[in-house]
Amino acid sequence: MNPKNREERIIALDAIKNEAEKLAKSGADALDVQGFVSGARKELAEQRPDKESYFDAAVTAKKARDKR
């Protein structure tokens, strides 16, 4: 991942964290906060995919399946 995309992902993840903290402090249910975080991270992954991490995870999963 190039440095610009990585920086944008970090900024977006920080914004998600801050918003989740605001929701929690305002009295939102923990399930609602978790739902927000999951949805926001999924949307971020669609907008700014980290193909290198995905590839590494796929290789690791394949190695684990092959050991069975």
Cα–Cα distance for residue pair 40/36, rounded to 1 Å: 6
Locate the domains of the chain by residue range: 3-67
Q: What is the pLDDT of residue 51?
A: 85
Give 6-43 as a 3 state SS string. Answer: HHHHHHHHHHHHHHHHHHHHCCCCHHHHHHHHHHHHHH
Express each pLDDT in 16-68 by its tens digit: 999 999 999 999 999 999 999 999 999 998 988 888 888 999 999 999 999 88
Q: Could you tell me the pTM of the whole model?
A: 0.75
The more confident residue out of 4 and 22 is: 22
